[in-house]
Amino acid sequence: MIDNLPSCPKCSCEYTYAMNALVVCPECGHEWAPAESGAEGGGPAGERVVKDAVGNVLRDGDTVVVKALKAKGSPSGIKAGTKVRGIRLVDGVDGHDIDCRIDGFGAMQLKSSVVKRA
């Protein structure tokens, strides 16, 4: 069983169906093995894509710059432009999808919408 069939790479038709190990496009008749199409962009099926505030795709280990943030337990919060190295993408609560350490603050979770890849 193949879930979440990819759209046709030739005509981007969404109504593809699986036949044996191949995916078939009813629009243009293109047949392909979905395992091979993973190489060109769009990672393996099911992989979550986390994007920063301007749409850059973020990956584990990236360095990002945060917007000004209020931080729990800190009266001054985090200054805009603070660099955060070695982020880790997580499936956190309440839309927090970045796990990181910030100098002077320690470990915390951020939303990808408040960072920009450095």
Amino acid identity for residue 62 in this structure: D
Q: Is 87 in the site for Zn ion (CB under 5 A)?
A: no
Of 18 and 57, which has the nearer Cβ to Zn ion?
18
Please select the residue that binds Zn ion; options are 8, 50, 66, 69, rule is CB under 5 A: 8
In this structure, the strands spanning 22-24 and 31-32 are antiparallel
- Contact between 109 and 87 under an 8 Å Cβ cutoff? The reply is no
Residues 13-52: x/- map of binding to Zn ion (CB under 5 A)? x-----------x-xx-x----------------------
Of 13 and 53, which has the nearer Cβ to Zn ion?
13
